[in-house]
Chain A
Amino acid sequence: MRSLLKYAVLVIGALGFAYPFLWMIAGSLKPEMEIASLGLLSHNYSLHSYEQVVTKIPIGRALLNSILVSFATTVSVVLFGSMVGYALAKLRFIGRNSLYMLILFTMMIPFQITMIPQYILMVKLGWTDTYLSLIAPTMMSAFGIVLFRQFFMGVPQALIDAARIDGCTEWGILFKLIWPLSRPVVLTVGLLTFMTSWNEVLWPLMVVRERTLMTMPQIVTIFTIGGEAETQLGSLLAAATLLSLPVILAYAFFQRYFIESMASTGLKG
C-alpha cells in the first residue's frame, strides 16, 4: 500500500516533468484548432507549423550558427582546459600556484560586473555582429580547467616519467598518453560546455543584431516576443521544438554523463 503511494507520487512527478515536452512536440504537429486540447494524438498531424517558422525566420541558418558556435566553444574549452589543467597538475613552473589561485578567483566573479565592460570590449574590437563575439569570450573556462586539473592529479606520475624517459614531448604526453585515459572528464567538460553554449541567450542578445548571425535560442526569443509568431501557437511550439530537440536527443544518449557530471560539480547549467 505504501509503496503504491510512493509510485503514484513518482509517476505523477514524472508526468509533470515530461508531459509538457510531449505536448509541445505534439502541438507543433497539430492544426491550430486542436492544440489547446491536452491530448497528444490527432488525425491531422502535419508539418504546416514548421513551414510557417521556416518562412518567417532564418531558423535553418540559426541552427548552423548554433552548431558552429557551440562546437567551436566546446573544442576550445576542452583543448585549452586540458592544456592548462595538465600544466597545473603535473608540470612545475614559476607562478603555478598563483595561476591556480587566479583561476579559482575567476570562478567567483559574478557575470553582472563584467557583462557591460565585456560588451564594450566587443564594440571596441569591432566584433559585434560577428562569430568572434559569440565564441571568443567563452573559449576558456576556469571551471573546465579546475575539473581537468583535478582529474589529472590522479594520473600516476610514474606513467608520465616513463614517457619522458622514452623521449616523449609534453605535447605527446598530454595528447597521446593522458587524453586516452581521460574520456570521463573530457566528456563531462565537453557535454556541459556544449549544453551551456547551446542554451546561452543573454550574451547573443547583447552582441548580435544581424538576423542571419543569430543563434537558435536568440532567434526563437525574438520570434516569441517580437510578435512574428502572431497568434499562431503552432509555429511557436514548432520553433521551441526545433530549439530543444537537439539537446533532448543528446540527453537521451548521454543521460548518465549529463547527470553525473552535474552532480559531481554542483554546477548550475
Chain B
Amino acid sequence: MIGSRNITAFGRNDRSGLLFSLPYVIFFLTFVAYPLVFSFVLVFHRWNIVSPMEWIGLRNFERLFHDPLFVKAIGNTLMFLLIHIPLQIAVALMFSLLLNSRVGLRGFFRAIYFLPVVVSGVTVTILWQQLYSYDYGVLNALLQSFNLPPIPWIIDASWAMPSVAIMATWKNVGIYVVLFLVGLQNIPSELYEAASLDGASKVRQFVHITIPMLNPTISVVVVLSTIGGFSLFIEPYVLTGGGPMQSTLSAMLYIYNQAFYFGHMGYAATLGFVFALIIMTVVLVQRRLIERESV
C-alpha cells in the first residue's frame, strides 16, 4: 500500500516538476541559448540587418585589435575602476564603521545613504550634471569658497572619467555600506577582546582583524564594481555623450554606438563577445587573488 502510494506520488511529482519548469526552458531557449549561439554566428559576419549577411571570417577580430576606440574604451574602463573601486571601499568602510559603533538613528542614516541606489541613473546623472557645471556648479562654488581654483569636471578630457567614477560611487556606495555592516556584525567580538588584552592598539586591531575578516565582502565589492564598470552606459551617455575626446567612451557605450549609429551589427556583436570574455577573465583573476590573500 505504502509502496504504491509513493510511486504514484513520485509520478505526479515528476510530471508537475517538468510542467512547472517548462516555461523557463522555453524562455531559456529563446532569450538565452539562441542569442548565445547567434552571437557565435554574428562575429564572423558583416551585417547591417537590412542587407544580407556577409561572411568575413575573422576580419571583425582583426579590426578590433587595430581599433583605437576599442583600446580607448578598455583604457577608460580601467581608469574608471582604478578610481571607483578604492573610493567605494574607503567611503563604504568609513560609513559602515561609524554606523557599527553605538550611534542613534542608525536605521535612518543607513536608509539615506541607500537612497541613490534605488533612484534611476538618469536622474542621478541629470543632478550631477548640475553639480559639475563649470560656471554654476555647487562643487566649484565650494572650491572657490576655500579659495581653490575651479575644476573642469566634465569638460576636460582628463577629468571627465574620474568625474563619472565619483558620481557612480555616490550612486552605489549605499549597497556596500549595508554589505560592510553585515560583514562587521559577523566578526566575533572575542577577537577584539583578546587583542585588547594583548595590548593591540585600535589601528592594529583594524589592520589585523577587521580588514582580513571583511575579505569576503571586499571580494564581492570588487567583483560587482568591475562588472558595473564594464556595464557603464547611461551615466556617460547622458553626462558627456562619451566625450570630451572619447574620454568617457565606455565598453557598453561603444557597443551601442557601433550597433545603433553605424549599423555594424557583426562588429558590435564581436565587441560584446570580447568584452564578455574580458569581464569573465578579470572577475576570475580577482576572485583568485583576493581569496589567496585571505588564506
Contact = CB atoms under 8 A, between A and B. Distances in A.
Given A113-B276, A114-B36, A268 B238 contact: no
B272 A240 contact: no
A170 B16 contact: yes
Given A116-B42, A259-B114, A198 B120 contact: yes
A86 B111 CA distance: 33
A119 interface: yes
B252 interface: yes
Interface string A221-233: 1001100000001
Given A92-B13, A251-B118, A20 B224 contact: no
B218 interface: no
A170 B28 contact: no
Contacts of B110: 259
A56 interface: no
B120 A137 contact: no
The main secondary structure of chain A at its interface with chain B is: helix
B280 A140 contact: no
A268 B172 CA distance: 8
Contacts of A190: none
Nearest to A201: B234
Interface in B16-33: 16-18, 20-21, 23-25, 27-28, 30-32
Given A83-B23, A118-B35, A140-B23, A224 B118 contact: no
- Give the size category of B's interface with A: 35 or more
B98 A6 contact: yes
Contacts of A201: 120-122, 233-234
A240 B256 contact: no
B117 interface: yes
Contact of A109 (B10, B32, B127): B32
B115 interface: yes
A91 B35 contact: no
A202 interface: yes
B99 interface: yes
The main secondary structure of chain B at its interface with chain A is: helix
A41 interface: no
B148 interface: no
B35 A117 contact: yes
B131 interface: yes
A99 B21 contact: yes
B36 A237 contact: no
A115 B272 contact: yes
A106 B27 CA distance: 12
A202 B233 contact: yes
Interface stretch (A42-50, A179-187, A242-250): A242-250
Given A24-B127, A111-B231, A137 B31 contact: yes
B275 A110 contact: yes
A99 B33 CA distance: 13
A251 B115 contact: yes
Given A18-B115, A217-B234, 18 more contacts: A6-B98, A10-B99, A13-B113, A24-B126, A36-B136, A83-B21, A99-B24, A110-B279, A112-B252, A112-B275, A116-B255, A117-B35, A117-B269, A199-B122, A206-B259, A217-B122, A247-B118, A268-B224
Interface of A: 3, 6-7, 9-10, 13-14, 16-18, 20-21, 23-24, 36, 38, 80, 83-84, 86-88, 91-94, 96, 99, 102-103, 106, 108-121, 123, 136-137, 139-140, 145, 164, 169-171, 174, 195, 198-199, 201-202, 205-206, 216-217, 220-221, 224-225, 233, 236-237, 239-241, 243-244, 247-248, 250-251, 255-256, 258-259, 262-263, 266, 268-269
24 contacts: A6-B103, A10-B95, A24-B126, A80-B24, A87-B18, A93-B14, A114-B36, A116-B259, A117-B34, A117-B36, A121-B31, A170-B16, A199-B120, A202-B233, A202-B234, A205-B260, A220-B120, A221-B237, A237-B126, A247-B119, A256-B107, A259-B114, A263-B181, A266-B179
